Amino acid sequence: MGFRRVAVYGYRNLQDAAVDTGAEEIFLVGENGQGKTNFLEAVYFLSFGSSFRSAADFLVPRDDGKEFSVRGIFQDSEREIDIALKYQGRKKEIRLDGKQIRDRKELVSNVPCIVFTHGDIDFVAGRPERRRWFINQIMSLFNPLFIDLLRSYNRLIKQKNQVLKEGPASLLDSYDLQIARAGLEIQRRRRETIQDFNRTFSRLFGEISRFSGELTIEYRPSWKAAEDEEHVVRLLASQRGRDLDQGMCTSGPHRDRIRFVHQGNDYVQTASTGQLRLISLVLRVAQSIFFSEKTRKKPVLLLDDVLLELDLERRKRFLASLPAYEQAFFTFLPDEPYREYRKPGTLILQVKSGILTPV
């Protein structure tokens, strides 16, 4: 079923209102700048407790206000959930069925959501940390406990970096052992996940693109030859001089590399912008399918103007490739042929000046 209703208050340019969204598919139709993406972002807040556009929550309140809130009623085959998020005085409070939650990872397991945006091209052609972020999200969706492991590792790296800058150096051996233990576990899980994920991604990309030859994701861990904790500790010790000079830990999972390979070569170096965009779309579809296979749950999909750069045939193949979902929100410009994609139960909402009106 998905979200039956989404209510917003003080949210960007959206009118304060409760919007009925009780349909498997919702088409948000309007010109640019009218509020389509803002509404998708509000739904995303209910799934992750954060925005997919910015980490700065203080930018969300309308007209330089100090607060905003989002509330949604989510229903699947098992239960109904009331999710409420309120931001006030630079503090955020999230309640699940009236009970305040302390960790946003509790939302991920309750309302799984996958968003498709133009910014996803960064997972293909952007900085290495964006590719690592995407792989981490894949893993966190089906195993929220991975979030704890990642947080622990990042905290250790931050603490070690402080010691590298300020001392005392006597603490470094202790940090290296803990970093080796957590880092090897992250490396192991990333390797296994990417190997598993490739089966879905490569097949999908071939079907949608009709591309000649297989495109795969290649994992290049920072600790290439690491065998065990002792090996990594020795490696970190050998790099200590460099780390002290730079004031940071220069190896580990936070420096892993991930690339897209075709016939042994880095495909991103020769691909067109259209091909890069297609890879980013397929990544998200594969992520949705992978999540469903791992959890036996159906995600909520948010698709923000992602069909614009595909030709008609690729649009059809892309839409046909989408997995079973609990609910899907699509955004369209008025002159797009969105009515060709609608189903008998599709809800079409016109979006103009922040007001959503059923058509």
Residues making up the annotated binding site are 30-37
* CA–CA separation, 215 and 308 (whole Å): 23
| Max intra-chain CA distance, the chain | 68
Instruction: With both helix axes pointing from N to C terminus, report the angle between 172-209 and 128-142 in degrees, rounded to the nearest 10.
Output: 90
Phi/psi at 116 (5° precision)? -110, 120
Q: Give residues with Cβ within 8 angstroms of 66, minimum separation 6.
A: 88, 89
CB 7 within 8 A of CB 17: yes
CB 226 within 8 A of CB 103: no
Reply yes or no: is the peptide bond before residue 112 cis, omega within 30 of 0: no
C-beta atoms surrounding 319 within 10 Å: 15
Query: Can you tell me whether residue 228 is helix, strand or coil?
Result: coil
* CA–CA separation, 57 and 67 (whole Å): 10
- Nearest-10 Cα torsion for 309, 216, 210, 323: -70
CB 147 within 8 A of CB 140: yes
* CA–CA separation, 277 and 352 (whole Å): 28
Token pair 């009623």 in the structure block, residue: 73
Write the single-letter amino acid at 252: G
Residues that constitute the known binding site for ATP: 30-37
* CA–CA separation, 202 and 217 (whole Å): 8
| Cα–Cα distance list, 109 to 58, 270, 297 (Å) | 26, 38, 10
| Cα–Cα distance list, 336 to 31, 120, 238 (Å) | 11, 21, 58
